[in-house]
Structure 1
Amino acid sequence: MKMLRKAILAAACTAGLAIAAPPAVAQTTLRVVMHSDLKILDPIWTTAYIVRNHGYMIYDTLLAQDEKGAIKLQMVEKYETAPDNKSYTFTLRDGLLWHDGQPVTSEDCIASIKRWAVKDSLGQKMMTFVDSIAAVDARTFTIKLKEPTGLVLLGLSKPSSNVPFMMPKRVADTDPNKQIEDFTGSGPFVFVKDEWKPGDKTVYVKFGKYKPRAEPASGLAGGKVVKVDRVEWRAISDAQQTVNALSKGEIDFVEAPSHDLLPTLKKDPNVTVFVSPLAKNQYVFRPNTLHKPFDNPKIRHALWYAFNQEDFLMATIGDENYIKPCKALFICDTPLASTKGTDGLLTSNAKKAQELLKEAGYDGTPVLLMHSTDLKVLTNLAPVAKSLMEKAGFKVDMQSMDWQTLVARRAKKDPPSAGGWNAFLTSWVAADVMNPISTAYVNAGCDKASFGWPCDEKLEKLRDDFARETDPAKQKAIAEAVQLRVIEYTPEIPVGEWVAPVAMRKNVKGYLTSPVPVLWNVEITN
């Protein structure tokens, strides 16, 4: 039997499979329920957070932000900035390997940066400053700029969707508008594709050849030390069933427990409810500017009067301890927060909205509003929007679907009558929406913009100004100008802020304070 085991391991190594030697003791499995089922696997193709979470399991990043938001080295060993601030030279850490055993190279990273930058709002803007990205040798590459900008380090350390995950060149060469089919990463976990069963479970195993940094883990930075052998994401859509499974010890961790069940969990002596200070979120209404009626900015603008944030927040979260009405586009209590231009807005002034619709020539074209039904924190958003819009004089065709179907459909530019859409609501973690560059829905770059495809030269000029500016006071002034233009042009509408606790068994230790739920550093104790 021992001879057979050795032969199997030898064959696996010969085939280039990056597997760890079997542990001498029983495997430790962390059983997790995430906020959504995983059906899409390309974290560059979509901004969906469940796919971002999957990305952090199997991929790594060149730079990363710690729990205080400071930019730290990750895959990079060192970097140098030219005296004129128009060139960066990055050197990778020695010993970085892909899951197939091949070394990570500069060419891999260059291809990954380029693919990410096509899809990501911050990446797109960063690349307008880039003159060239070129390999110096297998572990060193340069980014040369046309003019100085702070977006390079900010972009390569971007903590949330889209994250600039590094992939092998053969994978990163995939058309950014097509999904990848090879899921080889270099991160702390390996995706076990053969055990992936959408609607049931997703499996990851520890990558035995991963080389963590020496620094302690902090946020998304530092040493990604894996302390379990196997992680299983269990697909349980029913909130009560999820809580019951956690209480019984059938699962170990819940990313997004239902807010109305938190009192029950807090009473359980075997469960810890944890609220990360980085887990603030913003609800957003996103109109599609390509098709009637929201191809008319004056019609879109009426929504600022039709909506109010309290209705959205109470219908979804329902607990005042976890919600905050906030009209600031760039998140309350952050450096760029402002309420400039928001007086009288988001007050459910149906009469004012009706007047604006009449002035704009609204002809009764129905708004096809996509309604996500399977994520508790999103489910009641669309019905609230429908009610408020109808009071304002809109006709609304609300179509229900699960979140993954919505994610796929929102990428379509077809007219609503041909499988397209007019509007949907979603939520962004605060780390994604704290400035005009990273906030994806402020990108008004036409076809290069995110789904909804706003096209506005004034917004893009302001975003360029922000990217060039380094003085915080001047950045604040530009951010306020962006907010005023967003109110006028309406590529999005913020409809309230909320926080999302996680819940775990008390024998689960080491969960990190981060804007993203990450599972390295987590261990199961006796």
Structure 2
Amino acid sequence: MKFSRRAFVGGALAAPFVASLPRSASAAGSVLRVIPHADLKNIDPIWTTAYITRNHGYMVYDTLFAMDETLTPRPQMVETYNVSDDKLTWTFTLRDGLAWHDGPPVTAEDCVASLKRWGKRDGMGQKLMQYTASLEAVDAKTFVLKLEKPFGLVLDAIGKISSNVPFMMPKRLAETDPFKQVPEVIGSGPFKFLKDEWVPGSKVVYAKNEAYVPRKEPASAASGGKVAKVDRVEWLYIPDPTTAMNALISGEVDYYEQVPGDLAPIIGQTPGITVEVLDPLGSQGMLRFNHLLKPFDKPEIRRAVITAVQQEKFLQAGVGNPDFYKVCESYFPCGSPLENDAGLDMIRPHTIEAAKKLLAEGGYDGTKVVLMQPTDIPITSAFSLVAAETMRSMGMEVEIQAMDWSTLTSRRAKKDPVENGGWNVFHTWWIGGDLVNPIAAVGLSGGGTEKAWFGWPTDAKMEELRDKFAFTSDPAAQKDLAKQIQKRAIEIGTHANVGTFFVPCGYRENVKGMIKSPVQFFWNMSV
């Protein structure tokens, strides 16, 4: 097995940083110290799909429904609900004991406003709202959703496990323009965000919400009782993987959210530390094109790059350890019901020669490609270098612009020309739970500049297919539509799938209560 050089860098490199981590005062009570996968700069999980902001959202906000370990939606803030015989009217009643962190009770009006704001940004939310006749509160704890036609994914949408999660916010905050961030963080979840202790680029602190009333069911993925078993959770951002490794080994931190594959054997062999994969579906790497700007305004050029993608090269560079990755070309997770091979013949064989031919047919004129590289996330940073090399081998001019992930997540929202701060392409990834159907998988949207995810593909046929899926409950019909959608995604070149990988976490033996889920949760955990 091969290890990168960083795996053998001595503890001396990490010592200055590790030594600078102050141990929490005993007055703080029990403290779970975590190395998160990225720095938290954007605090609004509706404004951005960034996973670090989603994880922040789960700390402080709650949801109406939540997915259990089988990805089945279960009531969370909702106590009871019923559906009319014609499947057009859904009535929801909130459970007792829900209160905002600043004191007032959660009301149905808060939830209605939150759903409406989420429905303007999220792919599934947009589809749900597209066929919503009305969404109104009828009293303090009850609201009613009326549909224009039966929508088969109502609970899957409002209970979705990952970005954008429909987190509930107070009405006054939920009425914020969805294309602007909320001005403050007030939730009703198991932890409170301590803004005064937040140091962007270094530290985020959450305190146990003593007023939170958990559900009585046991925790199961995002659902069940969210029991805060520690008084504080501290996220300590350490961008260098070797420094992070040494902080975990030395006991300065308790939990390392995303252990790089090449460091996993080193950490796993350390007495008192466990390395474990908690997400059974894994994550899918994505190379996302900006469909608005040259040269990726042409589907032939986007498809040329997709043809050149050799997943093994990306995965070896980004993950390294073959125990934690696999080649999987399906746009839906391998092992999931919708996995298929439709359309793959259009991008095979994955050779530079085939890609050059498509590039010429697309009329590539030498336009420079600006590739945003998130240097603080090892996997996507390495993916970016491979993508640049691949495109250059095809004959494209590529400029890598390095930045941290938080800066990238802000910049990717820009539709401006490259010379005014825009972009052409970047790497990200999606957990399998975000890709289990074509409505949840926002990268497949063809909704254009108003509704599609960053990159903004516009394609009426894709939207027609996705609409059909949303109103189909027959599994065989869903599988057929998934094949058509995948084929269309490849035809128009929504994005490139660069392979599936599994990111292990690392934790010390004092940490208990891990929850197996595609998303990392910090309730139920003790130290």
Q: What's the TM-score, normalizing by structure 1? A: 0.94
Q: 1:209 is matched with which residue?
A: 211
Question: 1:218-261 CA deviation, whole Å, 9 max, x = no partner?
Answer: 11000001110011101111111111111111100110112111
Alignment of 1:76-225 (within 5 A): 76-225=78-227
Distance 1:190 1:26, change over 3 A: closer
Question: 1:319-366 CA deviation, whole Å, 9 max, x = no partner?
Answer: 111111111011111100001221363643212221222222111111
Give the letter aligned to residue 198 of structure 2: W
Q: 2:522 is matched with which residue?
A: 519
Decide which of 308, 317, 321 is 2:310's aligned counterpart. Answer: 308
What is the aligned residue count?
A: 502
SS at match of 2:376: coil
1:419 Cα offset (Å): 0.5
Q: 2:275 is matched with which residue?
A: 273
What runs of 5+ residues in structure 2 fail to find an aligned partner? 1-25
Are 1:295 and 2:321 matched, yes or no? Answer: no
1:26 Cα offset (Å): 6.2
Are 1:234 and 2:233 matched, yes or no? Answer: no
SS at match of 1:251: coil
Question: 1:352-395 CA deviation, whole Å, 9 max, x = no partner?
Answer: 22122222211111111111111112111111011111111221
SS at match of 1:365: coil
CA contact (8 A) 2:73 2:160 kept: no
Rounded Cα–Cα distance in structure 1 between residues aligned with 2:194 and 2:487: 47
Question: 1:59-104 CA deviation, whole Å, 9 max, x = no partner?
Answer: 0000001111121110000100001101100000012000011000
CA contact (8 A) 2:203 2:235 kept: yes
Moved >4 Å (runs of 4+): none
Decide which of 428, 440, 451 is 2:430's aligned counterpart. Answer: 428
Rounded Cα–Cα distance in structure 1 between residues aligned with 2:278 and 2:519: 10
SS at match of 2:221: coil
Q: 2:459 is matched with which residue?
A: 456
CA contact (8 A) 1:443 1:450 kept: yes
CA contact (8 A) 2:346 2:490 kept: no
SS at match of 1:497: strand
Are 1:488 and 2:491 matched, yes or no? Answer: yes
Q: 2:335 is matched with which residue?
A: 333
CA contact (8 A) 1:279 1:501 kept: no
CA contact (8 A) 1:302 1:356 kept: yes
Q: 2:448 is matched with which residue?
A: 446
Are 1:243 and 2:248 matched, yes or no? Answer: no
SS at match of 2:501: strand
Q: What's the TM-score, normalizing by structure 2? A: 0.94
Rounded Cα–Cα distance in structure 2 between residues aligned with 1:238 and 1:360: 40
**Cα RMSD, aligned residues only:** 1.3
1:277 Cα offset (Å): 3.8
Distance 1:344 1:443, change over 3 A: closer
1:128 Cα offset (Å): 1.2
CA contact (8 A) 1:308 1:347 kept: no
Q: State percent identity of aligned pairs.
A: 51
Give the letter aligned to residue 164 of structure 1: P
Alignment of 1:265-414 (within 5 A): 265-278=267-280, 280-343=282-345, 345=347, 347-414=349-416
Q: Select between 179-188 and 339-348 the one with higher mean Cα deviation.
A: 339-348
Give the letter aligned to residue 470 of structure 2: A
Are 1:30 and 2:32 matched, yes or no? Answer: yes
CA contact (8 A) 1:307 1:347 kept: no
CA contact (8 A) 2:370 2:418 kept: yes
